[in-house]
Chains A and B, each alone.
Chain A
Amino acid sequence: MTVAVDTKYDLQSKIEEIVGEYGAKSTALIMILQDVQKHYRYLPEEALRAVAKTMKLPLAQIYGVATFYRAFTLKPKGRNHICVCTGTACHVRQAVVIVDKLERDLGITPGETTADGEVSLETVNCLGACALGPLVTANGIYYGNMTVTKVERMLSEVLHKKHDSDTTEEAA
């Protein structure tokens, strides 16, 4: 299930709205792309073209930035977003055991999305809550001091909640 990109007209106006918040200055490019990604859950090609057009910047620069920074993805992400911190503090507290566990349970490796488009798995280099490592976030919610058993609980919470967000999204 891919994320439906709005029709061309909607997309253009959405991009204009995002760009308008910051102004079409190049210092804001990264933030603009972050917001675009937040909206579409990835950076669709059409959106990048629209950003280039609106900001009057070369498409090559936009692509350069979109592929350079780790935070950006050109592929659609899943509905739920699970992110394991593999920063040093979490690493020495055996974050790798947690990554392995999620890989096994979800059947994907970091950077991938499950075939049904439900869950994306990712790793990050530190979320600044190192005292609670190993740390995992699921849809922005922090889960600290993770163990393999807690991963199971978290997954069932996340996949359970999915239904609520499904209905609200469809209603909207």
Chain B
Amino acid sequence: MSTNRLLSQAELVALKERLEKNRNANKTVVTVCAGTGCMACGCDAVLKTFHEEREKDRLENEVEIKATGCHGFCERGPLVVVHPLGVFYQRVKSADAKLIWEQTVNGGHLVNKLLYRDPQSNQIITKEKDIPFYKKQMRIIFGKNGFMDPTAINDYILLGGYLALATALTKMTPEQIIGDIKKSGLRGRGGGGFPTGKKWATCRAVKVDPKYVICNADEGDPGAFMDRSLLEGNPHQVIEGMMIGAYAIGSHEGFVYVRNEYPLAVKNLTIAIKAARDYGLLGENILGTGFNFDIETSRGGGAFVCGESTALMASLEGKVGEPRAKYIHTVESGLWDKPSNLNNVETWANVPLIIERGADWFASIGTENSKGTKVFALTGRVNNTGLVEVPMGITLREILYDIGGGVPRGKRFKAVQTGGPSGGTLIVEVAEPKIHASMVAHGDIRDEDEAVSLLDLPIDFDELTRAGSMMGSGGMIVMDEDSCMVDVARYFIHFLTEEGCGKCVPCREGLVVMLNILRKISEGKGTIEDIEYLEELSQVIIDTSLCQLGGSAPNPVLSTIRYFRQEYLAHVIDKRCPAGVCKDLVSHVIDNTCNGCHACLKSCPTNAIVGEPKRLHYIIQDKCIQCGACYQICRYNSIKRIKRGEGDKLQERARELWQPPLKKVPAEVA
């Protein structure tokens, strides 16, 4: 397909102009999100229905149907936007697609039931940008996502894609590019926040050939999915960033290391690389400038440690993904002992924007030492889950309340966890001083001043570190009163004992010891000394581990102890789990608010629940295995998780109702 090759910058510009001219701005375009999230909700069927309807009406020339990348609001998927009206429909099923076709595409009317309704104001909102979830966002990295088909390179070019590359190659020297990246203040989005320009400059200065540029798309932080979304929805922007970086550093070969758990990202990236090659945007003599560069993809094997730079490079070489000590930096000696510049997906995606709009523009966004935007994956116990791109420096309160819309089911915020397994858990509750009666009784009240100030914490690299957490890759997991902080700490340490490579002792052995102590505490067998020992051991592991996996592993433990010491003490002294999560310490009971909907009864694996429809139900304490199924099912908050052994105190009335006949029916009969 050498005829497609773009031989110069002028040809690229001409192609863009041609595409613009052929585009009819008034043409109806139905965009359907086809990212992993919407795929999981059945967008395939929606797309199929639209295609069938179009064929039936013979409107192939009049209406365009476009499968786009992730819009970030995956929770409301499948999403459909009809242009040029810009009407935003959510939770669209295939039958709804027919309705949209008839009403909106053909009739120009809205389909009210599919529009977004703001849960707070109960207002119907028709345009995407007016939805509170998007209002406070600043979508620059994701700017193109909803408007292009990630598998169509022309869509990207139409939106100005690869012009930054052309500018870089034809009008800028490598030094100028590095100067701009430095001036922009861009810091790595993969976790550490290392200044990108500085990294490039060091790598460029090494006089060894060949050099490699690598894109870290391992995204091992469970609960983060912005890299997936970028690679799936706009792979060209990442490729373009890598190309500019390669030119600046003096590299001709690039690698993208993607998790195998992201099949769609792998697919769209592969298609994008091939399309770029067809246009001569990858390969030899790119745009006639004499610059050569190509990219290979490599799929990871599902190991968290492979996100670490030295382990990633070992894995790329086809070896076991073990980190090595970093007294020699990878920018000097990385992949096959050659200078290698590794950056995260989101870091690379920022590069074309900085070249295109200028370093000053970029530096005008954000805080003193953290520039630009950051994408967060807002998940967990929050109403609006999804990807949120915000300027650095925005407060937690704005993210959690204005964008996130608060906690579902009237529960209370408790904490937010940032930075993944290496990060920390920050207290955010007590903003509304609505304190659990049981907490007052047991003295679980926390330091309010500290709590309130954290809710107004401006989110950037340095502030998060100061608060005992870190930016990490941008996972932001919201927890409500149902999350136990001992359990969260145990969860992360367990994760890291499984994911550590086992090469060095402090991490391999130390984390197992920590895990055992945390297990002990969650079983009600811990002591106060155990908590102190956890803190001591944490310090040793931080100081002596070979790589940052071990070096930051104790963070979740330290931060939960720092902000939730009372909760640890409740487990240790009172043998009580205030959140009702630690199985060995709780009893499931039904309180008097039960309306007898009967739903829980069927979910119980041990037939521990008795009751008749429309009557108060009862949990037979001896039969309950605390599996939590009923708790998850009950929609009326009637099932409570209280201190072990105190079960029947709350169920007195129900017991009177159900205990006597129960005695007559031996368990075997049921």
Contact = CB atoms under 8 A, between A and B. Distances in A.
Interface in B482-535: 482-483, 488, 491-492, 495, 498-499, 501
Q: What is the interface of chain B mostly: helix, strand, loop, or mixed?
A: mixed
B598 to A, nearest CB: 13
A93 interface: yes
Given A70-B302, A97-B629, A129 B37 contact: yes
B555 interface: no
B74 A132 contact: yes
Contacts of B108: none
B235 to A, nearest CB: 15
A144 interface: yes
B555 to A, nearest CB: 13
Contact of B40 (A57, A124, A142, A149): A142
B331 interface: no
Contacts of B77: 131
A57 B320 CA distance: 14
Nearest to B296: A27
Nearest to B301: A69
B222 A125 contact: yes
Nearest to A83: B261
Interface string A121-150: 000111111111101000000111001110
A95 to B, nearest CB: 10
B74 A104 contact: no
B417 interface: yes
Interface stretch (A28-36, A112-120, A157-165): A28-36
Interface stretch (A9-17, A74-82, A84-92): A84-92
A131 B385 contact: yes
Interface string B381-408: 1000110000000000000000000000
B554 interface: no
**Which of A25, A124, A128, A132 has most B Cβ within 10 Å?**
A128
B605 interface: yes
Interface in A10-60: 25-31, 33-34, 57
Interface residues of B, number: 68
Contact of B41 (A69, A94, A126, A144): A144
B75 interface: yes
Contacts of B475: 88-89
Contacts of A91: 222, 491
A90 to B, nearest CB: 8
A26 B629 contact: no
A131 B628 contact: no
Interface stretch (B57-65, B310-318, B642-650): B310-318
Contacts of B379: 88-89, 130-131, 133
B75 A68 contact: no
A100 interface: yes
Contacts of B39: 142
Contact of A65 (B220, B320, B498, B501): B320
B629 A126 contact: no
Nearest to B606: A104
A5 interface: no
Contacts of B288: none
Contacts of B37: 129, 131-132
Nearest to B625: A100
Given A125-B220, A126-B261, A147-B632, 20 more contacts: A26-B319, A28-B298, A30-B298, A70-B301, A91-B222, A92-B477, A92-B488, A96-B628, A104-B605, A125-B495, A128-B36, A128-B261, A129-B40, A130-B222, A130-B225, A131-B37, A135-B40, A142-B39, A147-B633, A148-B629
10 contacts: A30-B318, A70-B498, A88-B379, A89-B475, A89-B477, A97-B629, A126-B219, A143-B40, A144-B41, A148-B629
Interface of A: 25-31, 33-34, 57, 61, 64-65, 68-72, 85-94, 96-97, 100-101, 104, 124-133, 135, 142-144, 147-149
Interface of B: 36-37, 39-41, 74-75, 77, 219-225, 228-229, 255, 260-262, 265, 296, 298-304, 315-321, 377, 379-381, 385-386, 417, 420-421, 475, 477-479, 482-483, 488, 491-492, 495, 498-499, 501, 602-603, 605, 627-629, 631-633
